[in-house]
Structure 1
Amino acid sequence: MDISGQAAIVTGGASGLGAATARALAAGGARVAILDRDADRGTVMAAKIGGTFCKTDVTDPASVAQALKDAAGLHGAARIVVNCAGIGPPAKVVNREGEPLPLADFMAVVNVNLAGSFNVLSQAAAAMQRLDPMGEERGVIVNTASVAAYDGQIGQAAYAASKGGIVAMTLPVAREMARFGIRVMTIAPGLFLTPLLESLPEDAQESLGRQVPFPARLGDPADYAKLVLSIVDNVMLNGEVIRLDGAIRMAPK
Structure 2
Amino acid sequence: MKLSTSLAAVVTGGASGLGAATARRLAAEGAKVAVLDMGDGAAVAQEIGGTFVKVDVTDEASLEEGFAKAREAHGQERILVNCAGIAPVAKTVSRGARHAFDTFAKVIDVNLVGTFRASAIAALGMSSAEPVTDDGERGIIVMTASVAAFDGQIGQAAYAASKGGVAGLTLPLARDLSQYGIRVATIAPGIFETPMLMGLGEKVIASLGEQVPFPKRLGRPEEYAELAIAIIQSPMLNGEVIRLDGAIRMAPR
Give the deviation of 1:82 after TM superposition.
0.2
Q: 2:125 aligns with which of 102, 124, 127?
A: 127
Which sections of structure 1, spanning at least 5 residues, go unmatched? none
Identity %: 59
Give the deviation of 1:51 after TM superposition.
0.5
Tell whether 2:73 aligns with 1:74: yes
Aligned to 2:165: 165
The one-letter amino acid of 1:46's match is A
Aligned to 1:196: 196
Aligned to 2:18: 17
CA distance in 2, matches of 1:47, 1:79: 21
Aligned to 2:54: 55
- Taking the TM superposition and a 5 Å limit, the aligned residue runs for 1:61-100 are 61-96=60-95, 98-100=96-98
Give the deviation of 1:204 after TM superposition.
2.2
Give the deviation of 1:202 after TM superposition.
2.2
Helix, strand or coil at the partner of 2:93: coil
Query: Which ranges of 4 or more aligned residues in structure 1 deviate by more than 2 Å?
Result: 200-204
Shifted more, 196-205 versus 160-169: the winner is 196-205
Which sections of structure 2, spanning at least 5 residues, go unmatched? none
TM-score by length of 1: 0.98
- Taking the TM superposition and a 5 Å limit, the aligned residue runs for 1:2-13 are 2-5=2-5, 6-13=7-14
What are the Cα deviations for residues 149-169 of structure 1, in whole angstroms up to 9, with x where unaligned? Answer: 000000000000000000001
Helix, strand or coil at the partner of 1:141: strand
The one-letter amino acid of 1:202's match is E
CA distance in 1, matches of 2:90, 2:198: 20
- Taking the TM superposition and a 5 Å limit, the aligned residue runs for 1:164-243 are 164-243=164-243
The one-letter amino acid of 1:177's match is L
TM-score by length of 2: 0.98
CA distance in 2, matches of 1:168, 1:58: 19
Give the deviation of 1:100 after TM superposition.
0.9
